[in-house]
Chains A and B, each alone.
Chain A
Amino acid sequence: MFYREAGQFKTSYQADAAIFPIRQDRVAIAAVLVIAYAVIPLAATPYIFSALLIPCLILALAALGLNILTGYAGQLSLGHAAFMAIGAFASYNFMLRVPGMPILLAFVCGGLCAAGIGILFGLPSLRIRGFYLAVATLAAQFFIVWCLAKVGWFSNYSSSGVITAQAIVILGYTFDTPTAKYLLVLTIVAVMALAAKNMARSNIGRQWMAVRDMDVAAEVIGIRLVYAKLLAFAVSSFYAGVAGALYAYAYLGTVEPEAYNLDLSFRILFMIIIGGVGTVLGSFLGSAFIVLLPIMLNFTMQFMEQTLHLSIPMSAASNLELMVFGGLIIFFLIVEPHGLARLWQIAKEKLRLWPFPH
């Protein structure tokens, strides 16, 4: 009833190839954008911006990158936080060493550096598959973080390896308030998400999916595996690199290489698994879930302490949180192995038929 394409006729090739062919989708996207750009900046507090929305968007971008690699091209990576680190440190060095460098260009350059390294660490994917590849990408994780911490040049010889991100200035305007940073991050993420969505339904996206489903068969029908796999690594690392740069500039401010540790890699992987592998929407849902979950758990814990007058010791509370976090992840994998994006699919089906059962 609410979500029905009946009566929406496509009369041109252009309409047929549109990114959102159904009117309801277009309305929904427009509504989301209006809320994100107009309503949230008016309604949210600085705490919500800096603790929730900004990390959520940035990590969604990183998850989107990993989703391109894992969800569309079928190559598992456990080292994506390292590519984020490269993006952050490369952007920092471009800003530091090139006079008059525009910050957006620095982000792009940081992403390109990450893409280059990503191709390098993607080379083994031409030979090895599955978990062998996953473990091999851990080499990237440990080596890159070690390298950034050991080689002083990357952090401009700061004694502890910590870099302080420069101020974000675009065309003379300084993005220093949480709201301004949020809008900047939102814009970058929206543009890149649109690009990802388009890539996924273009020639290269279809090549990736063919490689994912069966790479030998893909090769037989004339897809160049080297090109498709390495491009997936490059694009994915580019997204991760930009996300990493934003993570440093718009979220943390000061970062050390250790901020991009294995834990972050796993969190990004959780996001795409829980959100939905091979969907753009899933990256956002997964990111929101993983960012919100610890905060909600903490909140629940405090609430329970206050209402039930239980005094849970600090260490026990953090361990309980860890257990609940792990348990919830297992729970979500069991009840919805295709991710939260699948729930949205089901909801759409239901809305199409409502109020009739069939």
Chain B
Amino acid sequence: MTFFFEVLIGGLLSGVMYSLVALGFVLIYKASGVFNFAQGAMVFFAALTFVGLNELGIPFWLCVPATLAAMILLGLATEKFVLRPLVNQPQITLFMATIGLSFFIEGLAQLMWGANVRGLDLGIQDEPIQWISDATTMNVSKFDITAAGIAAVLVTVLAVFFSRTRIGRALRAVADDHQAALAVGIPLQQIWGIVWAVAGAVALVAGMLWGARNGVQFALTFVALKALPVLILGGFESIPGAIVGGLIIGASEKLAEVFLGPYVGGGIEGWFPYVLALLFLLVRPEGLFGEKIIRRI
């Protein structure tokens, strides 16, 4: 039973990491209706830029704002050169454009910093916390707890940003109805630029945590694929959905791998979340917290 809980907690904590990536998707989808496939590439770009700057001898504390600036620049450039010319195109065209964008960002990142696998040390050890192990005989990684804490802080900050600030209110207005937002004088393009910049910042946090976990390498871009079932489970438009969905996916994926995997030859982590999300969608087609779309003729 202890083992079960250990797997469960490990899964929940890794689910938090998925949520972090899913958050970036949700932000952009909410504000501009773009399903941004390049989020994974942005995570990769952020992590690689951070490590690359660090290797150049720039101190750690300076790397964070520098990378943040790079991500904001990337976000603004995306808005200007990719999204703005594609305004009013069908969603699938925008989606394909973001896939093209992800190729571009992946190429750019590796061109600038090389394709070697690098380690990223945030100074947090990936070791079990002693007193929890003593008290319950369960191993809970210090790193995972820290990551969960960072995610919680980030979500709180975003929630406050969305509900309490002027820009946040404008963002929600744009998310609700582009045309109405324009009509009351909200600068749409500026808002989109901000959203992409915020998504870039979220990508930086996700990239640093994932990079510290698994090493900074090309495989980071596949993190986006892990975040997709989280998204459809939680609903595309919902920040709480991304968190809850991440927890569910993380936990069920680990439990399935450990307890079901051996019977079918293992490696089911790759598809299990998708099948789970698919079955869930059959019951609730708009995800857990997604907006129910009322369709009229």
Chain A interface residues (CB < 8 Å from chain B): 70, 76, 124, 127-132, 134-136, 138-139, 142-143, 146, 150, 214, 216-217, 220, 262, 266, 269-270, 273, 277, 315-316, 319-330, 333-334, 337
Give the chain B neighbours of A142 by CB distance below 8 A. Answer: 270-271, 274
Q: A327 vs B82: C-alpha distance in the bound complex, in angstroms?
A: 10
In the complex, the chain B residue whose C-beta lies closest to that of A79 is B274
Check A76 against B103 for contact (C-beta < 8 Å).
no
Check B264 against A273 for contact (C-beta < 8 Å).
no
Check B101 against A330 for contact (C-beta < 8 Å).
yes
Check A330 against B97 for contact (C-beta < 8 Å).
yes
Chain B interface residues (CB < 8 Å from chain A): 35, 81-82, 85-86, 89-93, 95-97, 99-108, 110-111, 114-115, 225, 228-229, 231-232, 236, 264-265, 267-268, 270-271, 274-275, 277-278, 281-282, 285-287, 295-297
Check A131 against B91 for contact (C-beta < 8 Å).
yes
Give the chain A neighbours of B275 by CB distance below 8 A. Answer: 139, 143
Q: Which A-B residue pairs are the 8 nearest by beta carbons?
A: A326-B103, A322-B107, A326-B104, A329-B100, A323-B107, A139-B274, A142-B271, A319-B111
Give the chain A neighbours of B287 by CB distance below 8 A. Answer: 132
Check B104 against A330 for contact (C-beta < 8 Å).
yes
Check B96 against A322 for contact (C-beta < 8 Å).
no
Q: A76 vs B91: C-alpha distance in the bound complex, in angstroms?
A: 11
The contact of A329 among B99, B114, B236, B282, by CB within 8 Å, is B99
Give the chain B neighbours of A327 by CB distance below 8 A. Answer: 100, 104
Write the nearest CB–CB distance from B284 to chain A, whole angstroms. Answer: 9
Check B86 against A337 for contact (C-beta < 8 Å).
yes
The contact of A124 among B100, B268, B281, by CB within 8 Å, is B281
Q: A124 vs B285: C-alpha distance in the bound complex, in angstroms?
A: 9
Q: Can you list 5 pairs linking A and B with CB atoms under 8 Å apart?
A: A138-B225, A139-B277, A326-B101, A329-B96, A333-B97
How many A-B pairs have beta carbons closer than 8 Å: the answer is 136
Q: A262 vs B277: C-alpha distance in the bound complex, in angstroms?
A: 18
Q: A326 vs B92: C-alpha distance in the bound complex, in angstroms?
A: 16
In the complex, the chain B residue whose C-beta lies closest to that of A317 is B111
Give the chain B neighbours of A277 by CB distance below 8 A. Answer: 92
Give the chain B neighbours of A266 by CB distance below 8 A. Answer: 99
The contact of B236 among A124, A131, A143, A150, by CB within 8 Å, is A131
Check A76 against B264 for contact (C-beta < 8 Å).
no
Give the chain B neighbours of A337 by CB distance below 8 A. Answer: 86, 89-90, 93
In the complex, the chain A residue whose C-beta lies closest to that of B270 is A142
Check B107 against A136 for contact (C-beta < 8 Å).
no
Write the nearest CB–CB distance from A15 to chain B, whole angstroms. Answer: 35
In the complex, the chain A residue whose C-beta lies closest to that of B81 is A330
In the complex, the chain A residue whose C-beta lies closest to that of B235 is A132
Centre residue among B100, B106, B231, B286 by max chain A CB count within 10 A? B100
A136-B232, A139-B275, A320-B111 as given contacts; A325 in contact with B297, CB under 8 Å: no
Give the chain B neighbours of A270 by CB distance below 8 A. Answer: 96, 99
Check B103 against A127 for contact (C-beta < 8 Å).
no
Q: A273 vs B92: C-alpha distance in the bound complex, in angstroms?
A: 8
Q: A323 vs B100: C-alpha distance in the bound complex, in angstroms?
A: 9
In the complex, the chain B residue whose C-beta lies closest to that of A152 is B265
Write the nearest CB–CB distance from B276 to chain A, whole angstroms. Answer: 9
Check B267 against A146 for contact (C-beta < 8 Å).
yes
Give the chain B neighbours of A324 by CB distance below 8 A. Answer: 107
Check B100 against A326 for contact (C-beta < 8 Å).
yes
Give the chain A neighbours of B286 by CB distance below 8 A. Answer: 132
Check A135 against B285 for contact (C-beta < 8 Å).
no
Check A217 against B111 for contact (C-beta < 8 Å).
no
Give the chain A neighbours of B82 by CB distance below 8 A. Answer: 330, 334
Check A136 against B264 for contact (C-beta < 8 Å).
no
A135-B277, A146-B268, A270-B96 as given contacts; A315 in contact with B282, CB under 8 Å: no
A136-B232, A138-B274 as given contacts; A315 in contact with B110, CB under 8 Å: yes
Centre residue among B81, B103, B277 by max chain A CB count within 10 A? B103
Give the chain A neighbours of B297 by CB distance below 8 A. Answer: 214, 216-217, 220
Give the chain A neighbours of B35 by CB distance below 8 A. Answer: 131, 134
Give the chain A neighbours of B86 by CB distance below 8 A. Answer: 333-334, 337
Check B285 against A323 for contact (C-beta < 8 Å).
no
Check A323 against B96 for contact (C-beta < 8 Å).
no
Check B114 against A132 for contact (C-beta < 8 Å).
no
Q: A271 vs B277: C-alpha distance in the bound complex, in angstroms?
A: 28
Give the chain B neighbours of A138 by CB distance below 8 A. Answer: 225, 228, 274
Q: A356 vs B282: C-alpha distance in the bound complex, in angstroms?
A: 57
Give the chain A neighbours of B232 by CB distance below 8 A. Answer: 131-132, 135-136
Give the chain B neighbours of A330 by CB distance below 8 A. Answer: 81-82, 97, 100-101, 104
The contact of B265 among A150, A217, A323, by CB within 8 Å, is A150
In the complex, the chain A residue whose C-beta lies closest to that of B85 is A334
Q: A20 vs B82: C-alpha distance in the bound complex, in angstroms?
A: 38
Give the chain B neighbours of A135 by CB distance below 8 A. Answer: 228-229, 231-232, 274, 277
Contacts A142-B270, A333-B93 known; 5 new A-B pairs at CB < 8 A: A131-B91, A135-B232, A320-B107, A325-B103, A330-B101
Check A128 against B281 for contact (C-beta < 8 Å).
yes
Write the nearest CB–CB distance from A71 to chain B, whole angstroms. Answer: 10
Write the nearest CB–CB distance from B72 to chain A, whole angstroms. Answer: 20
